Amino acid sequence: MDVLSDAIAAMRTGRPHSSRTAKRAPWGVRFPRSDGAGFHVVLQGSAWLLGPGAADPLRLGPGDVVFLAHGYGHGLADHPETPLEDVELEPDGSWPVLPDPGPVPTDETLLLCGAYRLDRARAHPLLTELPPVIHIPARVGCHTRLRAAIDLLGAELAEPHPGSHAIVSGLLDTLLVYLMRTWWLRERPEETGGWSAALRDRAVTAALHAMHGDPARPWTVEELGSRGGLSRAAFARRFTTLIGQPPLAYLTWLRMTAAGHRLRETDTPLRALAAECGYTSEFAFAKAFKREYGVAPGRYRRGEG
């Protein structure tokens, strides 16, 4: 797997959901803070994104997409001064799914909204470095794959058929990847450090792909550096500067994060998990896991950690 896929897989939990909603002015809704992430797409008409925090109101036109990765409370309205009505979340913390409106008059706003449940206990820095609001404006001929996923999702919600539940769930996962990819590869501003710089650095990117592609392999710093044509010392300095921790420390974090996810989501035996994480014995794996999480793997699997 690649870095972005692993980062999303480590945090995603539960099933995502989405809905098409029609609004006639005046209208305004307020979404409370949550542990998940959400997106809004204006399919028809216009809307204003209010917040999060002290951010200025953002006008959204047809085809505009906003992604809120950190679950901050925010509002949507036909005008910045329209009063907002609170949206009550479901018991699991997800946004409510409203009935599809069917055909929508041209003088109404049609929104496509969705939400993802996330486990932020060990969030990958690739996600934590995202800004509060990612705005991807509609541009002719741009982001064609993202637009295709949005069109497919909207069509499936508008006209459900047998299998739609599975299709919508899969399209939502696909849309999340496209949203992230579009930001990191196309929309993000040029920055001087952090993961933005790391993903533009050939040597660091080569090492990241190597570790994510085969985390069980007993990588050495010298071997990882050679993937990008750098000496051991030069690579270690560059990786630590951009990623924020040494290469093998990141590898351990990657292994343990994947192990924690697998423990909670599967019944994979500890011996098999140890092998997947590059440990030759269950004892060595359990010792490393407890050092990272503070509890033994068995207790963590039972929800005690």
pLDDT in tens, 219-234: 999 999 999 999 999 9
Task: Report the candidate in 284, 210, 279 with the shortest Cα–Cα distance to residue 250.
Answer: 210
Instruction: Tell me which H or E stretch contains 256.
Output: helix 247-265
In this structure, the answer to whether residues 217 and 277 fall within a common structural domain is yes
Contact in structure between 85 and 155 (CB atoms under 8 Å): no
Determine the pLDDT at residue 107: 86
Do the domain assignments include residue 154?
yes
From 187, 205, 238, the end of a domain falls on: 187
Contact in structure between 173 and 117 (CB atoms under 8 Å): no
Positive or negative: CA dihedral 150, 153, 156, 158: negative
Determine the pLDDT at residue 185: 72
Do the domain assignments include residue 147?
yes
78 pLDDT more than 80? yes
Least confident piece of the model among 73-77, 85-89, 97-101: 97-101
In this structure, the answer to whether residues 137 and 183 fall within a common structural domain is yes
In this structure, the answer to whether residues 107 and 12 fall within a common structural domain is yes
CA distance 243 to 250: 8
Least confident piece of the model among 93-102, 105-114, 158-167, 265-274: 93-102
In this structure, the answer to whether residues 175 and 233 fall within a common structural domain is no
276 pLDDT more than 60? yes
Determine the pLDDT at residue 94: 63
Determine the pLDDT at residue 16: 85
Determine the pLDDT at residue 117: 84
Determine the pLDDT at residue 8: 84
In this structure, the answer to whether residues 115 and 12 fall within a common structural domain is yes
Do the domain assignments include residue 64?
yes
**Domain harbouring 22, CATH code:** 2.60.120.280
Phi–psi pair at 115, nearest 5 degrees: -145, 150
In this structure, the answer to whether residues 71 and 183 fall within a common structural domain is yes
Do the domain assignments include residue 96?
yes
In this structure, the answer to whether residues 209 and 82 fall within a common structural domain is no
Do the domain assignments include residue 192?
no
Residue 170: which domain range? 3-187
From 187, 213, 247, the end of a domain falls on: 187
Higher per-residue pLDDT: 81 or 97: 81
Contact in structure between 182 and 66 (CB atoms under 8 Å): no
In this structure, the answer to whether residues 110 and 178 fall within a common structural domain is yes
Determine the pLDDT at residue 123: 81
In this structure, the answer to whether residues 14 and 134 fall within a common structural domain is yes
**Domain harbouring 284, CATH code:** 1.10.10.60
Question: Does the bond joining 83 to the residue before it have cis omega, within 30 degrees of 0?
Answer: no
Give the mean model confidence (pLDDT) for residues 125-144.
87
The pTM of the full predicted model, rounded to 2 decimals, is 0.83
Domain count, the chain: 2
Determine the pLDDT at residue 41: 95
In this structure, the answer to whether residues 25 and 127 fall within a common structural domain is yes
The band of 126, judged by pLDDT with boundaries at 50, 70 and 90, is confident
From 187, 222, 255, the end of a domain falls on: 187
Do the domain assignments include residue 125?
yes
Phi–psi pair at 11, nearest 5 degrees: -105, -30
Contact in structure between 256 and 211 (CB atoms under 8 Å): no
Determine the pLDDT at residue 187: 67
In this structure, the answer to whether residues 182 and 220 fall within a common structural domain is no
Give the mean model confidence (pLDDT) for residues 181-206.
79
In this structure, the answer to whether residues 262 and 225 fall within a common structural domain is yes
Residue 211: CB partners within 8 Å, gap ≥ 6?
Answer: 219, 224, 247, 250, 251, 254
